[in-house]
Structure 1
Amino acid sequence: MSLSTQFYTMLSMIAMGSFFGASLDTYQRFLNRKNRKRLIVFVNDILFWIIMGLISFYVLFLVNYGELRFYLILALLCGFSAYQALLKKFYLRVLEAFIHFTKETIRLLYRLFITLIYSPIKWIVLFLIGAILFLSRVLLTLVKFIGKVLLWVLKVVFYPIKLIGKGLLHLIPKQVKEAFRKTYHVLEGYFNIIKNVLIRAFHFIKRMFRI
């Protein structure tokens, strides 16, 4: 490994140490250990360090094709220590400012969505529903009124016919009336027989399907 490669590798590992420190603070900020279950914290810790190890190996592979030396571990520790001593307070302030900015942006977008999209659509839908209900009531009332008027007209029109029919009914001989009555009773009997047969057949089919 050439001297320039070693130099670039040292700088990369120092940068990775600082990156470790910043990543660890970011991870601690979002994890909220006090309100998490131990199992979740344990799994998250393992995943975090696995990801950090993979990132470090990938950077090392890009710089010197993955050749690991003891002094590289010291470079990582130096980078981590430099972050803790010089950059941690500044980074935490930037992180909190970024989180605050993100929250306020999300709140603003939510309010804009409610004001410009959700509320207008809501009121338009409510207006349309109210208009449809109002028109339905008006049409129903109009149909009822027209129905009553037509019924009254039909009663007026058919009233003379009814009177004429009653008058003609009195003129029909009693023998003809009696013949009509007998015919009516006979037909009624046949219809009752057919009705009973159909009811029995229906119950029979119903019992078969239950089985």
Structure 2
Amino acid sequence: MTLSTQFITIISMIIAGVYLGASYYTFKRVERLWTSSIIWKYGLELLFWLLQASVLYLLLFIVNEGVLRFYLLLAVFCGYAMFKALFEQSFGRVLDKLIHILLWIYRLMYRTIKLLLVKPIVFVVSLLVVVVMKIIRLLWLLLRIPLWPIKTLLSLIIRILPKRLQKFLHPFWRFYSKMKKED
């Protein structure tokens, strides 16, 4: 390994340490938004570190064919310390502004979709339901009005019928009344 390759490797590992610090700070800042259970918290933490290790090894593989040396780990820690000492506060302010802007865009899109898409659909569906219910109520009312005279006429005819015929029809009435109660 030449001296220039070692120099490029150390510089890239210091930059990777700064990247690692920034990504970990971002992860911890955003983590509280979605971790409600301890299993999710540890699962996401494990997934985060596996992803970061993969990214760092890929960078190391690109720079010096994946040869891992002790001083490269020190360079990553040095880059992380540089992020903590020099860039964390300014990065935190920029990240807070970025999160604020993204939340504002999300709320704007949510309100716009709700106003332009959801509310008209809810209005049309509720209007259709009200119209259909009014039509059903009107049809029910129209069907009940002509049945009232027929029902009255049938009750008069039943009273006029002889007793033998009433006894013969009685089981049918009982069956009809059971059907009517179940409806």
Provide TM-score, normalisation by structure 1: 0.61
Q: Deviation per CA, 1:133-192, whole angstroms, max 9, x where unpaired?
A: 21222233334445568x5xxx8xxxxxxxxxxxxxxxxxxxxxxxxxxxx9xxx9xxxx
Instruction: Give distance in 2, aligned partners of 1:79 and 1:146.
Output: 90
Instruction: Give distance in 2, aligned partners of 1:37 and 1:139.
Output: 55
Aligned to 1:100: 100
Instruction: Give unpaired runs (5+ residues) of structure 1.
Output: 156-183, 189-211
Once the two structures are TM-superposed, the CA of residue 43 in structure 1 deviates from its matched residue by: 5.2
Instruction: Give unpaired runs (5+ residues) of structure 2.
Output: 154-163, 169-183
Aligned to 2:89: 89
Q: Is the counterpart of residue 116 in structure 1 residue 116 in structure 2?
A: yes
Matches within 5 A, 1:21-40: 21-32=21-32
Q: Is the counterpart of residue 136 in structure 1 residue 145 in structure 2?
A: no
Instruction: Give distance in 2, aligned partners of 1:37 and 1:136.
Output: 50
Provide TM-score, normalisation by structure 2: 0.69
Once the two structures are TM-superposed, the CA of residue 92 in structure 1 deviates from its matched residue by: 0.7
Instruction: Give distance in 2, aligned partners of 1:97 and 1:51.
Output: 26
Q: How many aligned residue pairs are there? A: 153
Instruction: Give distance in 2, aligned partners of 1:29 and 1:117.
Output: 33
Question: Whose relative contact order is higher, 1 or 2, with alpha carbons under 8 Å and at least 6 apart?
Answer: 2
SS at match of 1:13: helix
What is the root-mean-square deviation in Å for CA atoms of aligned residues?
A: 3.1
Instruction: Give distance in 2, aligned partners of 1:134 and 1:38.
Output: 52
SS at match of 1:66: coil
Aligned to 2:66: 66
Q: Once structures 1 and 2 are overlaid, which stretch shifts more, 63-72 or 10-19?
A: 63-72
Once the two structures are TM-superposed, the CA of residue 54 in structure 1 deviates from its matched residue by: 2.5
Instruction: Give distance in 2, aligned partners of 1:55 and 1:37.
Output: 27
Percent of matched pairs sharing the same residue: 34
Once the two structures are TM-superposed, the CA of residue 58 in structure 1 deviates from its matched residue by: 1.4
Larger Rg: 1
Once the two structures are TM-superposed, the CA of residue 42 in structure 1 deviates from its matched residue by: 5.1
Instruction: Give distance in 2, aligned partners of 1:9 and 1:38.
Output: 38
